[in-house]
Structure 1
Amino acid sequence: MKHLIRFFTAFFLALTLLTAVGCASTQKQEGSGEYVDDSVITSKVKEAILEEPTLSSAEINVETFKGIVQLSGFVSSSADIHKAVAVARSVGGVKSVKNDMRLK
């Protein structure tokens, strides 16, 4: 009976560890918690850009991976590029901003 209890204990411990490792992130892939965090950051950056009256939020795309925000799309001036980058950097949780925006 003791062997059976030890077997089930070891089995459930191994199952728990495998589940935890399966949710962990790698260098090129996010864990489930990081994905949710990045989605929140993306939403906050989009909202901040939308609230900025000088920027056309429909033409700026926002993607986030592990706290690094990438801005892409087309804007009218280099001042708009600098403003969008500054707005994105001001959002909490943003580690850095990659600028891939282009002038029209």
Structure 2
Amino acid sequence: MKNFKMALPASLIALSMLTISGCSEAETEKAESKAENAMQETKDAAQKAQSYTEKKAESAAEYVDDAVITTKVKAVIFEDDNLSSMNINVETSNGIVQLSGFVESEADIDTAENLAATVKGVKDIENNLQVREEQ
């Protein structure tokens, strides 16, 4: 009986310890799960940020490329003594050059387009040049 009296409190203590350790284990697993979720969310956010940054960098590079193409097309047109570059507008978007404005002849329209085509990076040309009507 004496052993039983001592065994009962010892059993209760052991049972309490198991219950506490069970709670601690459950809480530990919950904390680990939250930490893993937080790490995954952070990783996902970092990947989204990197993707966004790369897209913006590509967009900026594309803008710079278009500006360079526009400048080079204007330069080759300006260098041609037969064309009046003051009346030719040049715009570039995604490597596609748009020529607009007025020239003196159909031959000038072809010349401007041919000159623009010589510039590295030009993918296509939209030639909207028009022959100036004589007044």
1:40 equivalenced with 2:74 (yes/no): no
Distance 1:32 1:77 in 2: 37
Which residue does the alignment assign to 2:46? 12
Given candidates 73, 81, 92, the residue that maps to 1:64 is: 92
- 1:38–1:74: structure 2 CA closer, same or farther, 3 Å change rule? same
Per-residue Cα deviation, 1:52-97 (whole angstroms, up to 9, x for no partner): 1111010000011111111000111111111101100111111111
SS of residue in 2 equivalent to 1:40: helix
Structure 2 residues without counterparts, runs of 5 or longer:
1-30
Structure 1 residues without counterparts, runs of 5 or longer:
26-30
1:102 equivalenced with 2:130 (yes/no): yes
TM-score relative to the length of structure 1: 0.80
Number of residues paired by the alignment? 98
| Structure 1 moving runs of 4+ over 4 Å | none
Q: RMSD of aligned C-alpha atoms?
A: 2.4
- 1:94–1:14: structure 2 CA closer, same or farther, 3 Å change rule? closer
Distance 1:80 1:15 in 2: 49
* Letter in structure 1 aligned against 2:118: S
- Structure with more strand by fraction: 1
